[in-house]
């Protein structure tokens, strides 16, 4: 019997496995796909995650990028260079996720990939996890199987808030730009935006909606964007997937089990950042389960409180900012995005050096002022 079974080998599951195994706990990671496995994702990662680990992430980083470009419907460009912070990491999820799991394995965690979980059952003091390859047992359980995984429902949690996103992977032999930059286009997707993250072997391009019940034709939007960007779609792969956005404080613990990553709906509702919050919850889940194994009867409840306080309280402000921005995105682009200071502020937020609560109120007022002539001058 394992101290903890982790379902899902993404950033949350890999992080939790690493920190639990490093504390000497017996850990089993179950992953339905064979690793390394493909995952459609922009792959932007804040270098701030490095502070949570004691190993070098360099082998898992595809590019480090300091230049960002913004457009409104592919017009009115604004280019910014990150000057006072570390470049943004861009990763391929097949490489990055597998690398994290390998670090956990070096600490003693066991991986069983190509092993789909078919059901779970709590038996008095332990979880029995049924798989296509037979049952396994663990004292504790971490559900880190993503936005589409069944674990959240099986553990009795209500359905989380999800939005739709489309993704297009365009593989090229060489980068189009001599100095690659991350590109965001606003206006082409209603109540959302297009993102374009260059990687060493091509581009990860996606779009999503963040407000209301919009469900646009992602394929048409991304095809038009790629043609305008000068990319050949003959070698592209197209996907559609949910985004599990944070939607207010929520319970993340139950009997001997925790939710982490997108299973816990921790994606930033303004930027759609998902990797850093997933890893944050994985780290905190490991800390909580380690304490629970050591006899702390309040550890799992305190995990919920910690995530709600340290991540969720700021996501309230991210929601408010998203609501104001996507109501008037063209105004938001002109009075917000195009301000040189805006990128600096967002980079600080992504790196954990600043919080939405410190800037959202002023940003919402600026958006309102942009709608009313004479205000905000």
- Express each pLDDT in 249-273 by its tens digit: 889 999 999 999 999 999 998 888 9
Which of 81, 51, 27, 61 shows the shortest CA–CA distance to 290? 27
* Range 308-329 average pLDDT: 89
> What is the per-residue pLDDT for 167?
62
pLDDT band, very low/low/confident/very high, at 100 (cuts 50, 70, 90): very high
* Range 303-322 average pLDDT: 92
Separation in Å, CA 48 to CA 10, 73, 86, 87, 269: 18, 31, 9, 11, 20
CA distance linking residue 323 with residue 24, whole number of Å: 44
The residue that leads in pLDDT, 302 or 341, is 302
> What is the per-residue pLDDT for 174?
47
Peptide bond into 36 cis (omega under 30): yes
pLDDT band, very low/low/confident/very high, at 372 (cuts 50, 70, 90): very low
> What is the per-residue pLDDT for 203?
83
> What is the per-residue pLDDT for 264?
95
Q: What percent of the chain has pLDDT over 70?
A: 90
Q: What does DSSP assign to residue 100?
A: H
Question: Residue 373 pLDDT > 50, yes or no?
Answer: no
CA distance linking residue 169 with residue 177, whole number of Å: 17
**Residue 123, Cβ density class (10 Å: 0-12 exposed, 13-18 middle, ≥19 buried):** exposed
- Ranking 176-185, 226-235, 313-322 by mean pLDDT, the lowest is 226-235
Question: Residue 374 pLDDT > 60, yes or no?
Answer: no
> What is the per-residue pLDDT for 170?
65
Question: Residue 130 pLDDT > 70, yes or no?
Answer: yes
Residues shown for the chain: 377
- Express each pLDDT in 281-298 by its tens digit: 999 999 999 999 999 999
- Ranking 106-110, 172-176, 179-183, 193-197 by mean pLDDT, the lowest is 172-176
Mean pLDDT over the full length of the chain: 88
- Express each pLDDT in 42-74 by its tens digit: 899 999 999 999 999 999 999 999 999 999 999
- Express each pLDDT in 1-38 by its tens digit: 999 999 999 999 999 999 999 999 999 999 999 999 98
Compute the C-alpha angle 168/246/265, nearest 5°. 70
Identify the three-state secondary structure at position 28.
strand
């Amino acid at each position: 019997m394992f101290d903890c079974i982790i379902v899902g080998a993404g950033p949350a599951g890999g992080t939790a496995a690493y920190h639990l195994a490093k504390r000497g706990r017996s850990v089993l990671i179950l992953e339905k796909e064979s690793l390394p496995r493909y995952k459609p994702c922009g792959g932007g990662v804040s270098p701030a995650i490095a502070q949570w680990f004691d190993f070098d992430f360099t082998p898992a980083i595809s590019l480090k990028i300091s230049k960002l470009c913004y457009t409104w419907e592919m017009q009115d460009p604004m280019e910014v260079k990150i000057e006072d912070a570390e470049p943004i990491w861009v990763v391929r999820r097949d490489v990055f996720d597998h690398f994290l799991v390998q670090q956990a394995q070096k600490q003693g965690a066991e991986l069983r990939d190509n092993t789909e979980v078919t059901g779970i059952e709590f038996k008095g003091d332990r979880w029995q996890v049924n798989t296509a390859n037979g049952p396994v047992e663990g004292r504790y359980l971490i559900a880190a199987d993503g936005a589409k995984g069944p674990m959240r429902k099986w553990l009795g949690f209500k359905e989380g808030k999800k939005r739709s996103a489309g993704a297009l992977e365009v593989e090229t032999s060489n980068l189009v730009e001599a100095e690659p930059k991350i590109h965001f286009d606003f206006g082409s997707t209603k109540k959302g935006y297009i993102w374009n993250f260059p990687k060493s072997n091509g581009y990860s391009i996606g779009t999503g909606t963040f407000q209301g019940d919009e469900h646009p034709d992602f394929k048409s939007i991304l095809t038009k964007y790629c043609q305008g960007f000068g990319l050949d779609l003959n070698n592209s792969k197209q996907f559609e997937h949910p985004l599990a956005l944070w939607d207010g404080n929520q319970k993340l613990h139950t009997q001997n089990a925790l939710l982490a990553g997108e299973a816990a709906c921790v994606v930033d509702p303004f930027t759609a950042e998902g990797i850093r919050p997933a890893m944050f919850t994985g780290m905190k889940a490991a800390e909580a389960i380690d304490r629970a194994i050591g006899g702390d009867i309040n550890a799992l409840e305190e995990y919920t409180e910690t995530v709600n306080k340290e991540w969720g309280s700021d996501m309230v402000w991210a929601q408010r900012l998203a609501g104001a921005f996507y109501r008037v995105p063209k105004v938001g682009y002109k009075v917000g995005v195009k301000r040189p200071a805006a990128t600096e502020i967002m980079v600080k937020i992504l790196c954990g050096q600043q919080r939405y609560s410190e800037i959202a109120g002023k940003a919402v007022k600026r958006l309102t002022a942009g709608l009313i002539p004479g205000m905000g001058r």
